[in-house]
Amino acid sequence: MSNFRLTALMLAAGALLCVSTASADTITITGGETPTFPPTFTILESGSSPLVLPETTCCGSSDSFDVSGSATGTDPLASGDLDSNILAINMTGPGTLFIWVNETGLTSPTGNVSVTSGLTSNLMQGDISSVTLVTALSTGNGVSPPLGTVLDSNTFTAIGTQSSTTTVATGAGPYSLQEVYEIVATGAGTANLTIDLAATAVATPEPASLGFLGAAFAGLILLRQRRKAN
């Protein structure tokens, strides 16, 4: 085999490997419903980004909620970003609905990352008494539940939004991002909710920069000692 053909094959194999790695992330939407607690969770939709959940009756013995939604991660968003939107309509009596949006297989960014959580209650209508939105990161790369390290959480009783930034260690990866929706209803009602996550690497000083800072502090201490001596 000529060197040219061998090089071409190696390049093709590398390209396939890159494609495989890029498509490794999977988004999974899981649902569960009381009155039984903990509820039995069912995978409603799973696949690559962007993922659409068509209108589905969910998710327990009572099946009192109609749910639809969407989730977008890698690609087209940057690795470490996950945006989702859930519309839930409670058609009958009281109940609590749990929806988990999970993206697994994230390998970037890793280490210490700064994660911004945007939690929004777009619509609460009828007999929706409260909604609780939670974001988390799982270093075990698991599909929720269970919950990983909580990044942010807020309970809404009306339309509103909250944003916060948390620094968390991902480990070597892969890891998963989790977005949890808890909708409490006393009767028929509608909730429209959004969670956005964006992770960026936390810059760490280079060794040369640390050495420079150390020398600067040492110089300041020496200068103070000389002034005292005079």
119-178 pLDDT, tens per residue? 999 999 999 999 999 999 999 998 878 899 999 999 999 999 999 999 999 999 999 999
Note the pLDDT tens digit of each residue in 90-125: 988 889 999 999 999 999 999 999 999 999 999 999
Q: What is the pTM of this model?
A: 0.79
Q: What is the pLDDT of residue 7?
A: 32
Q: What is the pLDDT of residue 205?
A: 56
As a dihedral over the C-alpha atoms of residue 165, residue 48, residue 106, residue 154, rounded to 10 degrees, the angle is 20
Confidence class of residue 204 from pLDDT cuts 50, 70 and 90? low
Q: What is the pLDDT of residue 176?
A: 96
Task: Break the chain into its structural domains and give their ranges.
Answer: 26-224
Residue 201 buriedness (CB in 10 A; 0-12 / 13-18 / 19+) = middle
- Whose structure tokens read 């993206």? 103
Note the pLDDT tens digit of each residue in 36-49: 777 889 999 999 99
pLDDT at 16 > cutoff 70: no
Cβ atoms of residues 35 and 62 within 8 Å: yes
Mean pLDDT across the chain: 83
Q: Which of 33-47, 83-97, 200-214 has the lowest average pLDDT?
A: 200-214
Q: What is the pLDDT of residue 38?
A: 77
Distance CA 193, CA 168 (A): 25
Nearest CA among 153, 177, 155 for reference residue 163 = 153
Q: Which of 12-26, 44-58, 172-186, 203-217 has the lowest average pLDDT?
A: 12-26
